[in-house]
Amino acid sequence: METYNTKKFTELLDELEDCTEIEQRKKIGEMNEFMDEMDKYEFRSVLKIEQFEKIQKMIDEKKMNFGNMILLLKHIGFCKISLRSSNSNFGNSSLGKRFAEMIIFENEKKEEKNERLLVDLCKCCTMLHSYHTFSKELLSICLSSLLKAALIKNESEEARKEVEIALFALSSIDDYYKIEKKLYLEEMKEIIQYHQNNRNLSCLAYQSAWQFLIYRLLNDRHLEDNIVDATHFVREAARELKELTKCVDWKRKEEVTKRKKEQKAIMRWICTIKEPFREFDLWNEDVVGLICSIVELCRAARENEGGTFDNCISLFYSMATMLSVNVDALLEGGAFDLLMEEIQGLSFEDSFVWCYLGIFMEISKRLKEKTNGAIVKRERKASKERLCEKLEEEGYEDIITSFREIIDFIDLGFHNLSLEISDYFIYS
């Protein structure tokens, strides 16, 4: 279905071939603004092979210069990754194939290599290609070129923007790609550690650097030490979420556009955080601080940003299932206070009720497991007593009992919830 945004984008694209270079640049700016307002479905409707073929034709007929094309394609790629679109039309188009050939040709030059051109080509290609259309050779060249661009420490606004796009492009290289550590680890550690000392990156650039590393972690458990201890992922994620939460006046309706931009940054962080807590043993003393930051974000967002709130609760579910996250950390970080506030207001109509029940079921399961060693047993008993005291104050057992019918009703096979009400109780 055509919307105002998609209609205006298509109209402006059709008008480009009859414009001067300066007029083209202005219209491309307008096209970029319309793309910024599109949702995933609108964007998919304009990102067709025909559009890329039209751009290719304008280049061939010299109706668009290369600089304007790069300006347009960079933003198309940026929106594609921001909206998490899996569109593969660019890679299958003649323009995408031409870009791949140009990258390989430019990279193989022995003399007079145009590094700026190569970086621009790699930014567009990395963001616009999909897994199925991105060869290993192309990936290797783009990885090297983008890392080199991201390492630039020029403080000018233009340089910072180019570094941001380079890192954003790198963040789109997801876990489908298995890349040897020697090709990226030292460079990415340098980028992250330099920022921690000098604060030279934008929020988006810094998050993108971490996202690239987390994708690598999913294929290589040996990266955990670097991510947790050398570059302090958990501490940094907590700090960034806290800062982003403060940046937004969540109650002001007129700030929808700004909130939308900030919300995207927050959601990228939540997605980046969720993967390692679902898969790996990332427990350390910084986790309590991260939980505190997520709780603060939940309280700020729950009235006006339901999607952000639900994703935070889902993150707590991931933590609850991981033995690496101590139950005491969830208690000290305020997660149980938040969960009890919310669960008291839930009803049959709340589709997310299964997540709250799942968190308590997983915690109960963990605290009932047998343990070895006197010290571990004492610590487990102390944790149970603290949690039981907290839940008793809130009337937890009565609340859970009231959900018996919901537990019977929920699709248990999908949510892996138990039919036994006692599995949600926690006894000291």
User: How far apart are alpha carbons 400 and 5 in whole angstroms?
Assistant: 47
- Percent of the chain at pLDDT above 70? 93
- For tokens 């993150």, what's the residue? 315
* Average pLDDT of the residues in 61-73: 95
Higher pLDDT, 84 or 22: 22
The count of C-alpha atoms lying within 13 angstroms of the C-alpha of 342, restricted to the half-sphere facing its C-beta, is 25
DSSP tag of 178: -
Q: Indicate the range of 150-154, 364-368, 404-408, 420-424 predicted with least confidence.
A: 404-408
Q: Are 128 and 172 in contact (CB under 8 A)?
A: no
User: In sequence order, which residues have a C-beta less than 8 Å from that of residue 55 and are 6 or more positions away?
Assistant: 13, 64, 69, 72, 73, 95
Q: Left if phi > 0, otherwise alpha if psi is -120 to 50, otherwise beta: which for 112? A: left
Residue 409 has pLDDT above 70, yes or no: no
In this prediction, residue 406 carries a pLDDT of: 67
273 with 282: CB under 8 angstroms? no
Mean pLDDT within 154-164: 90
Give the pLDDT confidence score for residue 414 in this predicted structure.
58
**What pLDDT shows up at residue 203?**
92
Supply the mean pLDDT for the chain: 87
232-252: average pLDDT: 88
Instruction: List b or e across 258-285, with b for residues whose CB sees 16 or more CB atoms inside 10 angstroms.
Output: ebeebbebbbbbbebbbbbbeebebbbe
- Amino acid letter, 159: A
The region of weakest confidence among 42-56, 161-175, 321-335 is 321-335
CA 209 – CA 140 distance, rounded (Å):
17
d(CA 105, CA 203): 34
Confidence of residue 3 (pLDDT cuts 50, 70, 90): very high
Q: How confident is the model at residue 243 (pLDDT cuts 50, 70, 90)?
A: very high
pLDDT: is 174 or 373 the higher one? 174
The token pair that represents 415 in the structure block: 């949510």
pLDDT at 258 over 60: no
Is 29's pLDDT higher than 80?
yes
Q: CA-CA distances (angstroms) from residue 182 to 65, 189, 215? A: 38, 12, 15
Give the integer Cα–Cα distance in Å for 345 and 19. Answer: 58
Query: Cβ contacts of residue 301 below 8 Å, gap of 6+?
Result: 245, 250, 308, 309, 312
Instruction: Quote the pLDDT of residue 105.
Output: 95
Residue 351 has pLDDT above 70, yes or no: no
pLDDT at 75: 96
pLDDT (tens digit per residue) in 324-333:
678 888 999 9
The rounded percent of the chain whose pLDDT value lies above 90 is 50
Quick one: which of 293, 274, 299 has its CA closest to 217? Answer: 274
Give me the pLDDT at residue 106, please: 95
- pLDDT for 349: 61
Label residue 396 exposed, middle or buried (CB < 10 Å: 0-12, 13-18, 19+).
buried
Query: What residues contact 145, with CB distance under 8 A and at least 6 apart?
Result: 107, 115, 118, 119, 122
Distances (CA, A) of 171 to 4, 83, 177, 208, 271: 30, 13, 12, 5, 12
Q: What angle do CA 59, 64, 68 make, to 5 degrees?
A: 110
204 closest CA partner among 298, 110, 272:
272
Query: What letter would DSSP give residue 221?
Result: G
pLDDT band at 65; cut points 50, 70, 90: very high
Tokens coding 410: 């929920």
CA angle in degrees (0–180, nearest 5) for 240-241-244? 85
pLDDT for residue 222 = 85
The packing angle between helices 287-301 and 233-247, to 10°, is: 20
pLDDT per residue as tens digits for the range 168-227: 999 999 877 889 999 999 999 999 999 999 999 999 999 999 999 999 988 888 888 888
Mean pLDDT along residues 255-281: 76
